């Protein structure tokens, strides 16, 4: 398609039809750099980006550097105990200040040693006293918006936009009983996947593939789409006769169901997608998150975080029993990544191809239309 027709709504009418009549996005939406650039401008430049858990930054001075195509941001626990986020660039000549994770008393620039307090104020700039009109007060780190819910922390690159509360809509109500603020993230794993970000998101929004891709690991799962308000999608996943899909299908002896859960929540696992690319998974016995960061049209970084309730972490058998959970994530995640890489290869073999959706792929269809609504 030419650039003009790439963004011509007339070419996407068949995606916008009701699920049972609809076609999938054309394959080139996953492989064309122009489509990808438009997604960056219209979606990623403006949305909330999930950066990590509050409990990963619990002590004063603890920080993480969040890197995306929109730039690098430092998220840090200030001396007064709040979380703040700053552009990861010195106010002198712009050097990157921090990388990865760690803890600092002050942020010291590696180039000329300007010193910033944890709240972003510049407190020392040696050798600058004779500079006309130079005032430390004018050189605080550039703040960006930060907000959190249930222990999940987000930042945004633009000063104005939809609030986090409006983005999440009724998600906090739906998952209130999990008390996710009482969970701790005990492990992160990172993967670089040679796949467009949307293939990865879609994969976790349908259980249709489980009987094939996870035949030997998780087995076939059933699912039901949730009615949601706000910019998120939800899928209830369950297996008849089992509480937990947080361990491989041949495993028994898992952690108990969270005592505050009621009804379906005791026997189901909820896969969510906070638009565009953050997934929180609420299970009866664990919570995990997947953060998908586009690196290029055909490359995505996946960070997977594993969280357990603090009472579960305090159990004597936590180290032993949690191995079954890690094994599940370490087995199923590469299976999903590999199938998304196969999809990416397919998308360049037949760029104009549009398939049909099955009845279990309602959320894949919703995601496609959410993206089109912004990109076109």
C-beta closer to Fe ion: residue 88 or 291 = 291
Per CB under 6 A, does 111 bind ligand FES? yes
Contact partner at residue 361 from Fe ion, ligand FES, none, CB < 5 to 8 Å by partner kind: none
DSSP β-bridge partners for residue 234? 272
Choose among 330, 305, 340: nearest CA to 193: 340
# residues contacting Fe ion (CB under 5 A): 1
Contacts of range 162-165, beta carbons closer than 8 Å, 24 or more positions apart? 162/48, 162/231, 164/48
- Site for ligand FES (CB under 6 A): how many residues? 8
Q: In angstroms, give the least distance from the CB of 121 to ligand FES.
A: 15
The answer to the question of residue 336 lying near Fe ion (CB under 5 A) is yes
Contact in structure between 30 and 347 (CB atoms under 8 Å) = yes
With beta carbons less than 8 A apart as the criterion, state whether 75 and 87 touch. no
CA neighbor of 25 nearest in space, from 202, 225, 208, 192:
202
- Told to check if 92 binds ligand FES by CB under 6 A, we report yes
Q: How far is the CB of 140 from ligand FES (least distance, A)?
A: 13
Answer with the entry of ligand FES, Fe ion, none that 336 interacts with (C-beta below 5 to 8 A by kind): Fe ion
Q: Which does 90 bind (CB under 5 to 8 A by kind): ligand FES, Fe ion, none?
A: ligand FES
What's the min distance (Å) between Cβ of 318 and ligand FES?
A: 43
Which residue stretch of 24-32, 35-43, 111-119, 227-235 sits at the interface with ligand FES (rule: CB under 6 A)?
A: 111-119
Residue 14 found at the interface with ligand FES (CB under 6 A): no
Q: 114, 175, 199, 329: which one contacts ligand FES (CB under 6 A)? A: 114
Question: Any contact of residue 90 with ligand FES (CB under 6 A)?
Answer: yes
Q: Does 89 participate in binding ligand FES (rule CB under 6 A)? A: no
92 contacts: CB under 8 Å, gap ≥ 6:
109, 111, 112, 114, 125, 139
Which one of ligand FES, Fe ion, none is in contact with 255 (Cβ closer than 5 to 8 A by kind)?
A: none
Between strands 232-238 and 222-225, the pairing is antiparallel
Contact positions vs ligand FES (CB under 6 A): 90, 92-93, 95, 109, 111-112, 114
């Amino acid at each position: 398609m030419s650039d003009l027709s790439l963004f011509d709504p007339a070419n996407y009418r068949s995606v916008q039809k009701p699920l049972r009549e609809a076609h999938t996005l054309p394959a080139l939406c996953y492989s064309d750099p122009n489509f990808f650039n438009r997604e960056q401008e219209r979606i990623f430049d403006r949305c909330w980006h999930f950066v990590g858990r509050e409990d990963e930054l619990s002590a004063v001075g603890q920080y993480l550097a969040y890197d995306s195509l929109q730039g690098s941001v430092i998220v840090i626990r200030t001396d007064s105990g709040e979380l703040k986020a700053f552009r990861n660039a010195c106010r002198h000549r712009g050097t990157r200040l921090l990388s990865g994770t760690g803890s600092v008393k002050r942020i010291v620039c590696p180039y000329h040693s300007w010193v910033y307090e944890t709240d972003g104020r510049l407190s020392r700039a040696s050798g600058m006293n004779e500079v006309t009109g130079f005032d430390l007060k004018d050189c605080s780190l550039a703040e960006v918006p930060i907000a959190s819910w249930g222990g999940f922390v987000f930042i945004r690159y633009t000063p104005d936009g939809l609030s986090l509360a409006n983005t999440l809509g009724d998600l906090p109500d739906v998952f209130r009983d999990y008390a996710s603020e009482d969970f701790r993230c005990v492990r992160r794993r990172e993967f670089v996947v040679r796949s467009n970000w949307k293939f990865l998101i879609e994969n976790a929004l349908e259980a249709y593939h489980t009987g094939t891709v996870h035949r030997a690991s998780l087995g076939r799962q059933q699912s039901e789409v949730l009615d949601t308000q706000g910019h998120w999608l939800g899928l209830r996943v369950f297996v008849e006769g089992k509480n937990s899909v947080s361990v491989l299908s041949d495993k028994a002896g898992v952690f108990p169901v969270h005592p505050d859960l009621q009804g379906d929540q005791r026997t189901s696992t909820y896969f969510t997608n906070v638009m565009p690319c953050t997934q929180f998974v609420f299970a009866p016995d664990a919570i995990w998150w997947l953060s998908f960061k586009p690196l290029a049209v055909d490359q995505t970084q996946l960070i997977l975080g594993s969280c357990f309730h603090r009472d579960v972490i305090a159990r004597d058998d936590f180290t032993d029993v949690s191995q079954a959970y890690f094994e599940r994530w370490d087995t199923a995640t590469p299976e999903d990544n590999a199938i998304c890489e196969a999809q990416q290869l397919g998308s360049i073999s037949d760029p104009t191809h549009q398939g049909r959706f099955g009845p279990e792929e309602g959320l894949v269809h919703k995601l496609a239309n959410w993206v089109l609504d912004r990109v076109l």
